[in-house]
C-alpha cells in the first residue's frame, strides 16, 4: 500500500468508526455488529502502526488509552467555573425568583431546568473542530489537564462531523459520570477478588479521571453529559439555544432539560423528577435552574462566588437509622474539637456509613445521646453524613449518657470554651500534634504557599522524625534530612526542596492567608494586605484600625489582634522573614485610596496620557476591580480611541457608564 492509499484509508476508517460511535452513543442505534466494529478498529490500529506519520490526534484509537501521565499540569480556566448557590427549600426557590424579578425589573423571563448529575465538572476546549484539551474544575480558576483521559470517553467527539457550524475555538462544559451498571460491575469484580468495594460512582469517576494510565481509564467506561457552550467568537442568545447547538453538533446532551415560563413550572419539574430520577442509569442529587436569556444573565451578574441567575435545588437527603457504638473526638488546626459518632456500619445513599459528625457539645446535648442509642443518619447534600435524631423507643434502660470531654484527646490539655461560642478548643497550639500538622497542611495548600511537593504523608513523616514543629521549620530542611525519609530518592527530595524554595516568591497576601489566622480567609487576607501594605503595620494595628478596613468586622479584628499578641506567632514571623518570605505588598499592589472601592472597570482603546496597563494599575491602587469583559455587573467602561464598536454597543445596551481618560482621572483625584 502506498503512503497516499494508506492516508486515504486511515481517513475513511476514522470517519466510519466515529459515525458508528455517534449512532451508538447519541442515537442508540447499532448499524454494525461488535465483531465487525472491532475488526475496523484493528485495521485502523495496524495501519497507524505501519504509517505512524498519518496517525491523527482525533483518531478513535485514542479512546482505548495507553498514554501514561506522571503528573497533571495545572491550567487556568479561560472562563471561571463558578459554583452554584444551592437550597433544599422550595420556599427559597420562590425567594430566588423574586430576586431575579427585582434584578431584571421585569416579569419577562424564563428558566431552563436541568437534572443535576452527580459527577465531576469538566471543561473541554475544541480548536478547529478537534478536541484540544480537557480540564477539571479544580478551584474554579485553575484545574488539572486530564486530556489523555478525557479522550477515552466515547460519547465525546474527538473531531466534529461538521466544524463549520461552530466557531474556530469554543469551550463546552460537562459532567463526567460513571454509569451505575459499570460501577456495580467493578464492585462485583472487586468483591470476587476479596478487594474493598469502591465507595460510590461519583468518587470513582473523580478518581478515575486522575489516573496516570489512560488504558485503565478507558476500561472504566466513563460517560459525560454536556450542559454549556462558551465562545468569544460566536455567542448564543439563550441557554436553550446553546444546548440545542451542542446536540446538533454531535455532543451528548441529556434530553431531560425543560424550558419553564415561571417558577410554578419549575416546581412542577422538580416534583416530577423526584421519583423518576431514581430510574436513571446514573446518580442525580437535584435540579439546576438557570435564567434562559444570556443577556438577562449578564444583567443579573455574579456575587463573589455564585451567579445570580442560577441556583441548584437539592432533593431531601436519604436517611436511615443505626446503632451508636461510641464517640471519638477530632482536633483541627485551630484547636477546635469536633465530636464524631462511631456507628454500626449502615448503607446509605450509595455508600457504607461508619462515622458521622456531631458538630459540637451543644448538638450532643440537644440530641441527648446515650451509648447504644439507635440514631437517625442523614447525608447533607447526599455527601456528608450527620446525626439528626435519636429513636428513644429503642433506648436501653442501662444506657449511659454521653458527656463532652474536658481534656484534649491528643495532648491531654484542659479544653477551653469562649463565652458565646459552641466550640471547645485545645489551647496548646505549639504542642498539640494535630494542630501543628494541620497548620502545616494549611500553609502549603494551593491558595496559600502552594507547595505541591509536600502532602499529608510527608508532613506526618517530618513530624514523626522531629524535623518540623511549626511552619518556619520547613525552610530549615536540608537534603540530608529528607533523603533519609521513607520513600524519598534524589529527585523527589530535590522536588520537595525546590517547592519550598519557590514558595518564597508568593505574595504578601498569600503568606498572610497561609499563617492560618482564625477567620482570615483568602479574600480577607487580600484586603488586609492591600490596606496595610506590610506585616509590621498590620501587627501594630489596633482593634479600631482593623474595623475601619472595609468588610472587616469585630470578630476578624479581635482574632487578628489576638494572633499578633502571641509572642510565639511573632517569633515564627521573624523566622519566616529571615528566610526570605514576602511580608510586604509589592508597590504595584499597594492601595493608595478607596476612591474606587466597590467599582468595576473595563479598559478598551488607546489613551493619550496612560497605557492600558498604567490605567489598570491606577484602578487597583485606588481600590477598584478590573473585569475582562462588558457585562451587566460592570460599573464603568473606560473608552479610548480606536476601541472596538462591539464593546461600546454592548455597554450602551446594558446601561454601563462610559467614561473618558479625563473622567477617570477626575474620579481618582477626588
Which residue bears the cell 490526534?
Answer: 57
Residues 574/563, Cβ–Cβ less than 8 Å: no
Cα–Cα distance between 607 and 639 in angstroms, integer?
8
List pLDDT tens digits, range 348-396: 866 788 998 888 899 999 999 999 999 999 875 445 688 989 999 999 9
Confidence at residue 84, expressed as pLDDT on a 0 to 100 scale: 87
| Res. 451 pLDDT band, cuts 50 70 90 | very high
Query: Cβ(112)–Cβ(240) under 8 Å?
Result: yes
- What SS3 class is residue 378? strand
| Predicted local confidence at residue 564, as pLDDT | 96
* Better-predicted residue by pLDDT, 27 or 656: 656
What does the buried/exposed string (b/e) look like for 68-84 if buried means 16 or more CB atoms within 10 Å of the residue's CB?
Answer: ebeebebbebeeebbeb
Residues forming a β-bridge with 259: 112
Q: What is the mean pLDDT of residues 15-38?
A: 70
pLDDT of residue 380: 55
Confidence at residue 383, expressed as pLDDT on a 0 to 100 scale:
54
Show the cell assigned to 189.
Answer: 469484580
**What local confidence, expressed as pLDDT, does residue 522 receive?**
82
What is the mean predicted confidence (pLDDT) over 198-203? 78
Binned at pLDDT 50, 70 and 90, residue 442 comes out as: very high
- Model confidence at 159, pLDDT cuts 50, 70, 90, reads confident
Higher pLDDT, 604 or 511: 511
> What would the pLDDT profile of 288-302 be if each residue is shown by its tens digit?
999 999 999 999 988
- Predicted pLDDT at 195: 62
pLDDT at 29: 65
Starting at the edge strand that comes first in sequence, how are the strands of the sheet with 169-177 ordered?
130-136, 120-127, 169-177, 223-230
The reported pLDDT for the residue numbered 578 is 95
Q: Rounded to whole angstroms, how far apart are CA atoms 3 and 394?
A: 79
Q: How far, rounded to the nearest angstrom, does the alpha carbon of residue 378 sit from its chain's CA centroid? A: 24
Q: What structural domains does the chain harbor?
A: 3-56 (1.10.287.610), 103-264+274-310 (3.30.470.30), 319-394 (2.40.50.140), 433-505 (1.10.150.20), 508-589 (1.10.150.20), 600-669 (3.40.50.10190)
Nearest to 529 by CA among 578, 584, 571: 584
Cell of 527: 484586603
In 610-660, alpha helices (H): 612-621, 645-653
User: Where does the pLDDT of residue 670 fall: very low under 50, low under 70, confident under 90, or very high at 90 and above?
Assistant: low
Q: Which residues contact 589 (CB under 8 A, 6 or more apart)?
A: 507, 529, 530, 620
Catalytic residue among 29, 78, 102, 116: 116
Kind of pairing, strands 169-177 and 120-127? antiparallel
Neighbour order of strands in the sheet with 625-626: 625-626, 600-604, 636-639, 657-659
Strands 319-331 and 169-177: unpaired
Distance CA 205, CA 117 (A): 12
What per-residue confidence (pLDDT) applies to 4? Answer: 82
C-beta atoms surrounding 627 within 10 Å: 16
354 is catalytic: no
Which segment of 89-103, 358-372, 585-599, 645-659 scores lowest on mean pLDDT? 585-599
Confidence of residue 26 (pLDDT cuts 50, 70, 90): low
| Banded pLDDT at 407 (limits 50, 70, 90) | very high
Taking 80 as the threshold, does the pLDDT of residue 180 lie above it? yes
26 vs 499 pLDDT, higher one: 499
Higher per-residue pLDDT: 244 or 20: 244
Residue 78 pLDDT grade (very low, low, confident, very high; cuts 50, 70, 90) = confident
Mean pLDDT calculated for residue range 76-85: 85
- Cell numbers linked to 433: 500534634
Average of per-residue pLDDT values in the chain: 86
Distance CA 176, CA 154 (A): 12
Model pLDDT, residue 382: 46
Q: Which helix (H) or strand (E) holds 230?
A: strand 223-230
pLDDT category of residue 162 using cuts at 50, 70 and 90: confident
Least confident of 242-256, 440-454, 587-601: 587-601
Taking residues 51-78, report their average pLDDT.
Answer: 73
Determine contact, residues 109/98, Cβ cutoff 8 Å.
no
pLDDT of residue 312: 92
What mean pLDDT comes out for the span 584-613? 77
Q: Does position 245 have pLDDT exceeding 50, yes or no?
A: yes
Please choose, from the candidates 267, 220, 242, 213, the residue with its C-alpha nearest in 3D space to the C-alpha of residue 120: 220
User: Which has more pLDDT, 68 or 256?
Assistant: 256
d(CA 541, CA 563): 12
Amino acid at each position: 500500500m502506498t503512503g497516499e492509499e494508506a492516508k486515504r484509508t486511515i481517513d475513511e476508517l476514522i470517519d466510519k468508526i466515529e459515525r458508528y460511535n455517534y449512532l451508538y452513543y447519541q442515537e442508540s442505534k447499532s448499524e454494525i455488529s461488535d465483531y465487525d466494529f472491532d475488526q475496523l478498529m484493528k485495521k485502523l490500529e495496524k495501519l497507524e502502526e505501519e504509517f505512524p506519520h498519518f496517525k491523527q490526534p482525533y483518531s478513535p484509537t485514542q479512546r482505548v488509552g495507553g498514554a501514561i501521565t506522571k503528573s497533571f499540569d495545572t491550567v487556568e480556566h479561560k472562563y471561571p467555573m463558578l459554583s452554584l448557590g444551592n437550597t433544599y427549600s422550595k420556599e427559597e426557590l420562590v425567594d430566588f425568583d423574586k430576586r431575579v424579578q427585582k434584578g431584571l425589573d421585569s416579569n419577562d423571563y424564563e428558566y431552563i431546568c436541568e437534572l443535576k448529575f452527580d459527577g465531576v465538572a469538566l471543561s473541554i476546549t475544541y480548536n478547529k473542530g478537534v478536541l484540544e484539551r480537557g480540564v477539571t474544575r479544580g478551584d474554579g480558576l485553575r484545574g488539572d489537564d486530564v486530556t489523555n483521559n478525557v479522550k477515552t470517553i466515547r460519547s465525546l467527539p474527538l473531531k466534529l462531523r461538521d466544524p463549520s457550524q461552530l466557531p474556530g475555538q469554543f469551550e463546552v462544559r460537562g459532567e463526567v459520570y460513571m454509569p451505575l451498571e459499570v460501577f456495580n460491575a467493578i464492585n462485583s469484580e472487586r468483591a470476587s477478588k476479596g478487594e474493598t468495594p469502591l465507595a460510590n460512582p461519583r468518587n470513582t469517576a473523580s478518581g478515575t479521571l486522575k489516573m496516570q494510565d489512560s488504558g485503565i481509564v478507558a476500561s472504566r467506561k466513563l460517560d459525560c453529559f454536556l450542559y454549556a457552550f462558551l465562545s468569544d467568537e460566536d455567542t448564543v442568545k439563550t441557554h436553550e439555544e446553546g444546548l440545542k447547538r451542542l446536540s446538533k453538533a454531535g455532543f451528548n446532551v441529556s434530553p431531560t432539560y425543560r424550558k419553564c415560563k415561571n417558577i410554578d413550572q419549575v416546581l412542577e419539574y422538580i416534583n416530577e423528577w423526584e421519583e423518576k430520577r431514581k430510574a436513571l442509569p446514573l446518580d442525580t442529587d437535584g435540579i439546576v435552574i438557570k435564567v434562559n436569556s444570556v443577556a438577562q444573565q449578564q444583567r443579573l451578574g455574579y456575587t463573589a462566588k455564585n451567579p445570580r441567575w442560577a441556583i441548584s435545588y437539592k432533593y431531601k437527603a436519604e436517611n436511615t437509622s443505626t446503632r451508636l457504638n461510641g464517640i471519638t473526638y477530632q482536633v483541627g488546626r485551630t484547636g477546635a474539637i469536633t465530636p464524631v459518632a462511631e456507628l454500626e456500619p449502615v448503607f446509605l445513599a450509595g455508600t457504607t456509613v461508619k462515622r458521622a459528625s456531631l458538630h459540637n457539645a451543644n448538638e450532643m446535648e440537644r440530641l441527648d445521646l446515650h451509648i447504644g442509642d439507635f440514631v437517625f443518619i442523614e447525608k447533607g447534600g447526599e455527601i456528608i453524613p450527620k446525626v439528626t435524631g435519636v429513636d428513644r423507643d429503642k433506648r436501653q434502660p442501662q444506657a449511659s449518657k454521653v458527656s463532652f470531654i474536658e481534656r484534649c484527646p491528643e495532648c491531654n490539655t484542659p479544653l477551653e470554651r469562649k463565652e458565646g461560642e459552641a466550640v471547645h478548643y485545645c489551647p496548646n497550639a505549639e504542642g498539640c500534634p494535630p494542630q501543628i500538622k494541620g497548620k502545616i497542611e494549611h500553609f502549603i495548600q494551593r491558595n496559600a504557599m502552594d507547595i505541591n511537593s509536600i502532602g499529608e504523608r510527608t508532613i506526618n513523616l517530618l513530624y514523626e522524625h522531629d524535623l518540623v514543629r511549626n511552619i518556619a521549620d520547613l525552610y530549615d530542611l536540608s537534603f540530608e534530612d529528607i533523603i533519609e525519609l521513607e520513600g524519598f530518592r534524589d529527585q523527589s527530595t530535590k522536588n520537595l526542596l525546590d517547592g519550598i524554595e519557590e514558595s518564597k516568591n508568593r505574595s504578601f497576601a498569600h503568606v498572610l492567608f497561609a499563617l492560618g489566622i482564625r477567620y482570615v480567609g483568602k479574600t480577607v487576607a487580600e484586603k488586609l494586605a492591600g490596606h496595610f501594605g506590610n506585616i509590621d503595620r498590620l501587627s501594630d494595628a489596633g482593634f479600631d484600625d482593623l474595623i475601619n478596613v472595609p468588610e472587616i468586622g469585630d470578630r476578624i479584628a479581635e482574632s487578628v489582634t489576638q494572633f499578633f499578641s502571641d509572642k510565639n506567632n511573632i517569633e515564627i514571623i521573624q523566622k519566616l522573614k529571615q528566610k526570605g518570605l514576602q511580608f510586604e505588598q509589592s508597590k504595584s499592589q499597594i492601595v493608595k485610596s478607596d476612591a474606587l472601592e466597590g467599582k468595576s472597570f473595563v479598559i478598551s482603546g488607546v489613551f493619550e496620557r496612560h497605557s492600558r496597563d498604567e490605567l489598570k494599575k491606577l484602578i487597583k491602587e485606588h481600590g477598584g476591580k478590573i473585569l475582562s469583559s462588558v457585562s451587566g455587573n460592570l460599573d464603568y467602561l473606560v473608552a479610548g480611541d480606536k476601541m472596538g464598536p462591539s464593546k461600546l454597543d454592548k455597554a450602551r445596551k446594558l446601561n454601563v457608564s462610559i467614561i473618558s481618560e479625563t473622567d477617570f482621572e477626575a474620579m481618582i483625584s477626588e
